[in-house]
Amino acid sequence: FYHNELQRALSEQGLAIQSFSITSSSSLQAAASVTLQEGDIITIQLTSQGYKSPRADRVFETIEELLQSVSSLYTQTKESLLMRALEKLQSSG
């Protein structure tokens, strides 16, 4: 479960992260190495408690919350993608 869920959550981040790879998984947790937009590489772990990283000081319910807390470019990229999507909707409507 944890491997598939972490894979799905990170895959959905698209252009807001550079890359990721699952580095370990078991019946109790999964971990991934994630390259942020800044070029920093962090480890993200998913357990029954939620998402956590050594770079963050708490456990998060969503991958988005964790990424926002460790990467200012993540938030900027997500906002930019949202604005582009809204502009497309307005121009086609």
**26-29: Cβ within 8 A, 24+ apart:** 26/2, 27/1, 27/2, 28/2, 29/2
Tens digit of each residue's pLDDT (9 = 90 or more) over 39-73: 999 999 999 999 999 988 899 999 999 999 999 89
How much is the pLDDT for 66? 95
Tens digit of each residue's pLDDT (9 = 90 or more) over 13-42: 877 899 999 999 999 999 999 999 999 999
| Among 36, 37, 65, residue whose Cα is nearest residue 50 | 65
How much is the pLDDT for 46? 97
pLDDT band at 93 (very low <50, low <70, confident <90, very high): low
How much is the pLDDT for 80? 86
